[in-house]
Amino acid sequence: MLSTWRSSVLAFSFMWLCFGCSNGESKSVTVGADWPTAPPEEQGFDSAALAEVIGQIDVQGLPIDSVQVARNGVLILDAYFYPYLGEQKHDIASVTKSVTSTLIGIAVDRGSMSLDQGMLASFPDLAPSPTFDGKSDIDLLHLLTMTSGLSCGRTPGEPELNEMIGSDHYVQYALELPMAVAPGAEWAYCSPGSHLMSAMIANASGTSTLEFAKENLFGPLGIMDVTWPTDPQGVNRGWGDLQLYPRDMARIGQLFLNEGSWNGVQIVSKDWVELASQSFVLTDDGETGYGFQWWVLAGAFEGVYEARGRSGQAIIVWPDKDVVAVFTGRGLDVRGDVAPLLVAGLKSDSALDANPEAFARLSEAIRNATEPPQAEPVPTLPPIATEISGKVYRLDPNQFGVRCISLRFDSPSEVWFDLTLGSDAFELPVGMDGVPRFSETGPIGIAIGILGQWTEPTVFSMEYDEVGGPNHLRIRGDFGANAESVALAFSDPGGYFPSQLVQGASVPSCN
């Protein structure tokens, strides 16, 4: 099914490697250490419409952390929503995949990698014994387009990704995945395949993927502060967990809008941008296309493509209108509902008349969105709070790896949630007045904000929110009548983690 486009893509890639990058004119917008800014009207947007969108997100408490919109290289909207204020990097989840693919493009442009290089041949020391199931036919092009044929990404919840993360050697795990169909036969969202691409970059460059990115992508774009976790062997996670500031995410979008050029310098070839952002295969919905780890929209948004991560992370590129939009979020992905509202604010391809009153309303809406909620009176603790305070509960095995929990109710307003994962223990404050309390770092190194309340006489419920991360969990603990056990229910509003009920029993300590 995919053989025709595969042949044409490979032919195109060889052509540009032989003759160099396209000599056609490239768009170029000068962006320095910070983005040039202007009122939306200067770029054809209506401030009143944007103010309405920001106000709705704020009032409805939608799980959006930030929204940025740039047109013609000018930032006309830069909004953050409490508790994320843009002062720290944000985990961009699977938007990382589009960054990894861009690094592949830079390496292909330079001739150190090729689209037809074999997956197994790239890891001679790790590849499994010769197989006769078609795995030796998987090449880089298949990994880029999620058409490897590996038995991966074919069931909800990405079980293979979770198994890989639980393994001692991520790359070896991915290489040993069995085959489901022939390479190129169909699309399946396989994050381990994206991690293999990161390892291939490291092998080809002789350095880490992060160092290669700093020298060849992040540095030239002026992206100076980056966090990118690694696997046990030091390979940066090619599928996710890269942490960037939202404005720096917009730089990557602007690079693609500029056809690979940044301030007059060609960072990645125009040919690669064209290939990466075109649809080679349809995804599960039968309409959305997939390029080189970029999603290609159809229907009313034909011509728009995006880097997409769970829980609402996105870099959206709209070439026809010279627009780049960035979203970060936590929990439920409402980006698809909000983006059309922003589009409705685009009124013209030329400047509108100045509207200082509407711009003032937009500025006020942006300020209001950063304000914390009003504190509420703290209710009296129920009798069971005294009984469970300080008790340690050992939990049955669970998907989050939580071994033990403990709650300490020093007063109605001073509550602490003690969490033990593996050998690591965390002491996390809990807000009981409707305002979350924050810890600087949580289990994955991202700040945590927690709200708590007694919802029933024996039930304590919490909202566990990664500030600057995609994870938002609801935790409901039912301590029953005697406080010697707990039934702990985990749920994810975004639906990424399956709901799970975990039993726990009181123990003297977690040792």
Q: What is the DSSP annotation of 234-265?
A: S-B-TTS--EE-HHHHHHHHHHHHTTTEETTE
What is the domain class of 383-507 according to CATH?
Answer: mainly beta
pLDDT band at residue 131 using 50, 70 and 90 as cut-offs: low
Task: Report the share of the chain in percent with pLDDT over 90.
Answer: 79
- CA nearest neighbour of 106 among 199, 257, 23, 209: 209
pLDDT at 33: 59
Domain residue ranges of the chain, discontinuous segments joined by +: 85-296, 383-507
Q: How far from 6 is each of 10, 16, 101, 243, CA to CA, in Å?
A: 6, 16, 17, 33
Q: At a CB cut-off of 8 Å and minimum separation 6, what does 262 contact? A: 28, 31, 220, 221, 251, 254, 255
The SS3 of residue 33 is: coil
pLDDT at 5: 45
The SS3 of residue 413 is: coil
Determine the average pLDDT of the residues in 7-23: 41
Continuous segment of H or E residues that includes residue 315: strand 313-318
Task: Report the share of the chain in percent with pLDDT over 70.
Answer: 93
pLDDT at 132: 64
pLDDT band at residue 289 using 50, 70 and 90 as cut-offs: very high
pLDDT digits (tens, 9 = 90+) for 468-482: 999 999 999 999 878
Q: What is the DSSP letter of 191?
A: H
pLDDT at 442: 80
- Give pTM, 2 decimals: 0.92
Q: How far from 297 is each of 8, 82, 145, 274, 324, CA to CA, in Å?
A: 22, 30, 15, 15, 14
- Cα(387)–Cα(391) distance, rounded to whole angstroms? 8
- CA nearest neighbour of 477 among 400, 412, 399, 393: 393
- Peptide bond before 83: cis, by omega within 30 degrees of 0? yes
Matching residue, tokens 């990698």: 113
Determine the average pLDDT of the residues in 452-465: 95
Q: How far from 407 is each of 385, 399, 417, CA to CA, in Å?
A: 9, 21, 5
Q: Which fold does the domain 85-296 belong to in CATH? A: Beta-lactamase (3.40.710)
β-partners of residue 281 are: 290
pLDDT digits (tens, 9 = 90+) for 331-343: 777 777 888 889 9
Measured in whole angstroms, the distance separating CA 389 from the mean position of its chain's CA atoms is 36
202 has pLDDT over 60: yes
What is the residue-averaged pLDDT of the chain?
91
Determine the average pLDDT of the residues in 117-130: 88
pLDDT at 454: 95
- Radius of gyration in angstroms for the set of CA atoms belonging to the chain, rounded to a whole number: 24
Contact 467, 438 (CB under 8 A): yes
Task: Give yes or no on whether 85-296 and 383-507 have one common fold.
Answer: no
Name the least confident of 89-98, 218-227, 384-393, 493-502: 493-502
